[in-house]
Structure 1
Amino acid sequence: MDRRSFLQKGGMLGAGMFMLDGLAAKADNWRKEEPVNIGMIGCGDRGKGVLSVIESMPDLYRIRSFCDVLDFRLDETKQRLGVNARAFTDYRKLLDDRNLDAVFIAVPLSAHFEVAKAAIEAGKHVYIEKTMTFSIEEAQELTTLVNKYPKLTVQVGYQYRYSPLYFKVKEMIDNDYLGKVTQIDCRWDRNGTWRRSVPRPDLERQINWRMYKEYSGGLPAELLSHQIDFINWAFDTHPDEIMGTGGIDIYNDGRETFDNVQVMFRYSKAGMIGNFGATCGNARDGYLFKIKGTRGTVSLLTNTGIYYPENETKEELQTVDGVTGATKIVWNDDGGTSILNEPTKDGTWYALEEFYKSVITNSIPSSNVQRGARATVCVALANQSIYNNTIEHWKEAYDF
């Protein structure tokens, strides 16, 4: 983009680039009289968390049923919901309900494909938690299946990507506020075992499935895939070369998935390098997401973000303010400016609103099966590299 075009676009900046007022009402144009009847399959921490957001959206959703293979989780969900919903231990019986419109799938990653396939074949709309499937082959098969059911919505639960913050960052990328992006730095760190308490020893693998390779993609699937998916979407790209390392460096407690990982992606066509890391041994950085270009940098949390222009870009933006009379840009002490005028809601709220809209209007959600499949491939190749000490490469067969 030349300087004149950049200056003309500078009016999008101000004291918070994007006003959040009125977002909660934006669904009114496509709401119908009756809410969508939904069932939750999987009532662990994530399933119950999504249900709590669904409860806050009674105009959009009616909770009709829920399912889990563990009785104590069904009891917890009953007590938490306080609604007249049916409980199941077999998801196939839940799917037999002809009045059920859609299902939310929050089961262990290894079961994602099996449950999603059954739900689609039963004629239900599907919201499936990330990562979409456990394997590349499952991603390919699910994509083929979804294409056979064009009237059904299938959305993948990359909830942060539905936030106005992340849509605004994509707009900034498209409008050249970052310039030529070459580096992406991402972390999602914590200081803790990542374990859930187990009431009986025989339930260890069911409850702590994230610790075992048979069921889980580990830290790349559960955490880093959010940021990996955003980069794929925002730049319409995918990595061509994947290099990773890791180990069980902190908790030698019988787990199989690594508690300390680092992956580097080379996006050769885009001319970018992406660094994605996670540890269970230090929480200082927490969620860190930086996208660095020749004109500027964005530094993101899940609900807020700062834009840091390079010196020349900052001078140009100040020229915009002086020439156009746009809202004065407020610079922080560290030279950045807030991307939004206030923090966003939990990303799940925006994702659930989009799912409802897609179901009602028969439109394709932003986080759809093709993009979910692309992120699945990235995670699978990252784990292959991490566990096998290999360099992995993208193949044409992975282009969805």
Structure 2
Amino acid sequence: MTYEFGRRSEVKELRLQMDAKATISRRQGRSQTCPLMNMKATPQSDLNRRDFLKGGSAATLMVLMGGVPINAAEEKKAEGSAEETHYKGEAPPLNVGVIGCGLWAREILKTLALLPNAHVVALCDTYAPFLKRAGDLAPKAERYADCAKVLENKDVQGVIVATPSHQHKEIVLAALKAGKHVYCEAPIATTLEDAREIALAAKATLKLNFQAGLQNRSDKQLANLCNFVRTGVLGKPLKARCQFHKKMSWRLTSPNPDREKAINWRLNKAISLGLVGELGIHQADVVNWYLLARPVAVTGFGSLTQWKDGRDVPDSAMAVFEYPNGVLFNYETTIGNSFDADLNMFYGTDCAIMLRDRRAWMFKEVDAPLLGWEVYAKKDAFYKESGIALGAGQSKQEAQAKKATDAVDEKSALQYALEAFLINSHNHTAAVEDFNAAYDPNDVAGLKEYLAGQEKNRLAAAGFKEGYESAVTVIKANEAVVKGQKITFQKEWFELG
């Protein structure tokens, strides 16, 4: 039996149609090969590249490096046009509760305050000072010390779980059982067993929306860049390199010794995934996403050289991942030095692409094939190289004398992610109600088919599958760092059945 969408779902489809264009196709049926390896440039891919390259003048440093600035922001539509996609809060409000009110949770609350359809009705933390600070950001919210009370609150439609990573499982499972939509911060868990249990529960709970806190997946800047990479512009993929450098102790202070131990859970290797897992998961997930592949092995290295204050988590670490077809990915991080900050690099036989601060630049090889638009593009000379400036209008001869301007996306990746959670949760509930009104509410297979048809309406977001696979990636990477050894990924580790 084929299920057709109800009128209300069709209205939502029209309203969200343009935003859904930014959604990256779900990675389904992935084999242990890297699809980018066999990708060839085509006239259509050339068109995609040309459409992708929107405004953005060369930053001085990148020009000096011979780089091609790539601005991933979507082209601004004429005001009032049919293709204008700026979200203005058309979706009805969603009542949310925030469980865990530490530093990152307060950043979440500040971001939720920017969204007109975010109603924070409940806050929860076992530490009273944290709860008070969060309450200052959401003064109308009820405050709880027990998350069970949040889940009993019938006004709460969805919860954002921002507790320490090793505490996620119990809360997420209880929230799903209580009928709440769930946004779970990444990593979703610190063990394969807990991550699998969360993912399977989310998979089985068809009537609820589950989102993993991999906010890059919702960022239109990064999604558009992913599309650009997948046109085959790299040539044959060779390797990726990501780094995070920031001098900081990663330690929080408290006048209470017991409390200080509790809030510094990241420094305890028994319950923490360390730098690679707690910070590196977002960059590692971008590599999995862009390469459309899973790692097959990882070798780790770690040392504790700067912050010898009783912690047992390395303050410098490196994980070298192996992907199908010989593609390598090196992730390295230190909290002992800030030089060069953080960046993501992708290297291929035709070019390299640098991503940092949500902007990207392309560095072409001299023997790379012409893509077409270079004929008209502005050239910036540096030593013996020529960097192509990819600014708005740069592909037209008559615009050569004009100075391109940087297009700035004022939304953060976190704002995109939370916006997606609110809208997707509301629409998911509406779709379930539509199905129940038109068909047999007990037809699980039918509901699954119906919801699958609604996927095109969803705003881009990481689901249980992406959350689980990213957790597997960094759980084993951290294990390799701690043990100083190579670990081969087993295929069954990534499978959910």
**TM-score over 0.5 for the pair:** yes
Structure 1 residue 103, shift from structure 2 partner: 0.5
Deviations 1:251-295 (A, max 9, x none): 11011211110000000x243100001101110121111011112
Structure 2: segments with no counterpart, 5+ residues: 1-39, 57-70, 78-82, 393-405, 429-454
Structure 1 residue 4, shift from structure 2 partner: 4.8
With over 3 angstroms needed to count, the CA separation of the structure-2 counterparts of 1:321 and 1:308, relative to structure 1, is: closer
Is the CA contact (8 Å cut-off) linking 2:54 and 2:75 kept in structure 1? no
The code of the aligned residue for 1:273 comes to L
Q: Which residue of 2 aligns with 1:350?
A: 416
What is the correspondence of 1:11-30 to structure 2 with a 5 Å cutoff? Answer: 11-12=50-51, 13-16=53-56, 17=71, 18-19=73-74, 21=76, 25-27=85-87
TM-score (norm 1): 0.90
Q: Which residue of 2 aligns with 1:202?
A: 258
With over 3 angstroms needed to count, the CA separation of the structure-2 counterparts of 1:166 and 1:8, relative to structure 1, is: closer
Aligned length: 388
Deviations 1:26-60 (A, max 9, x none): 446x943x3000000011110000000001112x2
With over 3 angstroms needed to count, the CA separation of the structure-2 counterparts of 1:15 and 1:47, relative to structure 1, is: closer
Q: Is 1:284 the equivalent of 2:370?
A: no
Distance 1:69 1:339 in 2: 51
The code of the aligned residue for 1:36 comes to L
With over 3 angstroms needed to count, the CA separation of the structure-2 counterparts of 1:152 and 1:379, relative to structure 1, is: same
Of 184, 189, 197, the match for 1:141: 197
What is the correspondence of 1:268-307 to structure 2 with a 5 Å cutoff? Answer: 269-307=324-362
SS at match of 2:330: strand
Of 402, 426, 430, the match for 1:360: 426
Of 154, 163, 184, the match for 2:240: 184
Of 43, 54, 58, the match for 2:101: 43
Of 115, 126, 129, the match for 1:57: 115
The code of the aligned residue for 1:95 comes to L
What is the correspondence of 1:111-150 to structure 2 with a 5 Å cutoff? Answer: 111-150=167-206
Sequence identity (%): 26
Distance 2:170 2:391 in 1: 40
Distance 2:49 2:477 in 1: 38
Of 311, 317, 320, the match for 2:366: 311
The code of the aligned residue for 1:130 comes to A
Distance 1:102 1:386 in 2: 36
TM-score (norm 2): 0.73
Q: Which residue of 2 aligns with 1:325?
A: none
Q: CA RMSD in A?
A: 2.3
Is the CA contact (8 Å cut-off) linking 1:306 and 1:338 kept in structure 2? no
The code of the aligned residue for 2:463 comes to N
Structure 1 residue 75, shift from structure 2 partner: 1.3
The code of the aligned residue for 1:64 comes to V
Structure 1: segments with no counterpart, 5+ residues: 323-327
Is the CA contact (8 Å cut-off) linking 1:242 and 1:385 kept in structure 2? yes
Q: Is 1:68 the equivalent of 2:134?
A: no
Distance 1:336 1:198 in 2: 52
Deviations 1:284-321 (A, max 9, x none): 121111011112121111322212222244x714x435
The code of the aligned residue for 1:54 comes to L
Q: Which residue of 2 aligns with 1:382?
A: 477
The code of the aligned residue for 2:244 comes to W
The code of the aligned residue for 2:475 comes to A
Q: Is 1:212 the equivalent of 2:212?
A: no
With over 3 angstroms needed to count, the CA separation of the structure-2 counterparts of 1:337 and 1:132, relative to structure 1, is: farther
Is the CA contact (8 Å cut-off) linking 1:304 and 1:339 kept in structure 2? no
Structure 1 residue 208, shift from structure 2 partner: 1.1
Is the CA contact (8 Å cut-off) linking 1:307 and 1:337 kept in structure 2? no
Is the CA contact (8 Å cut-off) linking 1:242 and 1:266 kept in structure 2? yes
